[in-house]
Structure 1
Amino acid sequence: MSDAVKPVVRKARYQGHVPFNRVLRDDWIKAIKLSPDHFEASLYRPIEPELEPMDDNYQSESVLELETNQDTLTYREPELVALLACPDEQENFFMMDDGDENLGESLEPLMLRIASHHVPVGSVLEWDEENAEGLRTVWWYVHKAVGYGTANVGVIYICIPMRDFNKLLK
């Protein structure tokens, strides 16, 4: 028997799970679309700005912008997606109407499941809501994406309200 150290062969954690996770991601989207509580929205994905190549001998900049949240975004054409609100994840999104005012509406974020792969932060969702006065159109900004599980088979999107274009500016 030799004294040479034999390499340890180990199976990596989650090795071979890619096909199964792909099926779970597709089922996540199907479950949203098949839910009786789903509604539809127009999804506007932001267009990433193209950086101009710098062809000089100077050292490359490590900071290109000071405040990226102040960028002017342009968006792709809208696509129709199914959405599902997540009231179980955050109880304070149950709504009550009181005439003109929606008592449950606040500046707090809304948690949504979106039936689409790879919805980037910065996207905008536009949908119609029914209230006591009829239908109104609302716009929500995708602020953050939180993956479900270690393999991110599903995503909860944290959305914040945008300006209400149906109300006049004061």
Structure 2
Amino acid sequence: MYYGEKVVLRAYREDDIDIALKLVNDKELKKFLVNFIPFPMSKWEEEEWIKSQKSNKEGTYNFAIEDIETNKYIGGCGINSVDWLTRVAVVGIMIGDKDYWGKGYGTDAMKVLIDFIFNDMNINKIRLSVFSFNERAIKSYEKCGFEVEGVLKNEIFKDGKYYDEIIMSKFK
């Protein structure tokens, strides 16, 4: 387990499945997570995904995010891919429980993830992408030291409008 001030990053557990399924199928949350037409995830798919999470040599680690005070599962974060030659990791994060939005839990989780990536994995650069309408996430990433590296114009179509996809990065 990896500890921050507000959160613990830990392995997924079987008892996370029902909560995680509810969160990933929330329409408001899903608009921040996927760049395609959202389709509901089945319980079977979520179970299979959680059961497949384990450490591996490729470096794609996924952590459950837990509130340090209540031990409540509130979301997830992880390393989606690693290029070991260039030492670049691509990450993602989701605070799914809306009671925890805008209260620093995502920022704390990202700081813990950054520390893990730079210090335990010896990665040189962390990259992520965020939709331009997700201002709360952009501010959180900036607090963690991420800077805009590029903008893909009109890359995302949500709610009848086109939005930019922003590529951000942080170096060790």
Could you say which TM-score interval applies, normalised by the shorter chain? under 0.3
* Greater share of residues in helix: 2
Which entry has the higher C-alpha Rg, 1 or 2? 1
Question: Could you state the TM-score of these two structures normalised by the residue count of structure 2?
Answer: 0.27
Which structure is higher in RCO with an 8 Å CA cutoff and minimum separation 6? 1
